[in-house]
Amino acid sequence: MGKKARPPIPLLDGKIIETHCHLDYLDREQLELTLSKSQAVGVERIVTIAVSRDNQQLVRDIAETYDQIWCTQGLHPHEAASWNKDFDAELQASALHDRVLAIGEIGLDYYYEHADAQTQIAAFEGQLNIAADCGKPVVIHTREAEADTKHVLGNLARQLPQKGVIHSFTSSMDLAEFCLAEGFYLGFNGIATFKNAENVREVIRQTPLERILLETDAPYLTPVPYRGVPNAPFYLPFIAQTIADLKEVSVDELLAITYKNSLDCLFVNAQ
User: Where are the domains positioned within the chain?
Assistant: 16-266
Q: Write the CA distances from 43 to 82, 221, 239, integer angstroms.
A: 34, 18, 13
The CATH topology of domain 16-266 is: TIM Barrel (3.20.20)
Q: Are residues 123 and 80 in contact, defined by beta-carbon separation less than 8 angstroms? A: yes
3-state helix, strand, coil split of the chain in percent (to 5) is: 50, 15, 35
Asked if pLDDT for residue 123 goes beyond 50, the answer is yes
Q: Are residues 68 and 23 in contact, defined by beta-carbon separation less than 8 angstroms? A: no
Sheet with 100-109, edge to edge strand ranges: 16-21, 43-48, 69-73, 100-109, 138-143, 164-166, 185-188, 212-214
| Helix and strand counts by DSSP (H, E) for the chain | 9, 8
Entry pTM:
0.97
Distance CA 108, CA 146 (A): 9
- Predicted pLDDT of residue 3: 61
- Least confident range from 1-15, 47-61, 117-131, 183-197: namely 1-15
Phi, psi of 35 (to 5 degrees): -65, -40
pLDDT digits (tens, 9 = 90+) for 193-243: 999 999 999 999 999 999 999 999 999 999 999 999 999 999 999 999 999
Q: Are residues 138 and 160 in contact, defined by beta-carbon separation less than 8 angstroms? A: yes
Q: How many other C-beta atoms are found inside a 10 Å radius of the C-beta of residue 113?
A: 12
17 band by pLDDT with thresholds 50, 70 and 90: very high
Distance CA 157, CA 128 (A): 8
129 contacts: CB under 8 Å, gap ≥ 6:
156, 159
- Predicted pLDDT of residue 96: 95
Average pLDDT, the chain: 96
Over pLDDT 70: what percentage of the chain? 99
- Predicted pLDDT of residue 18: 98
Per-residue pLDDT averaged across 132-158, rounded?
A: 97
Q: How many other C-beta atoms are found inside a 10 Å radius of the C-beta of residue 92?
A: 14
Per-residue pLDDT averaged across 73-88, rounded?
A: 97
- Predicted pLDDT of residue 106: 98
1 band by pLDDT with thresholds 50, 70 and 90: very low
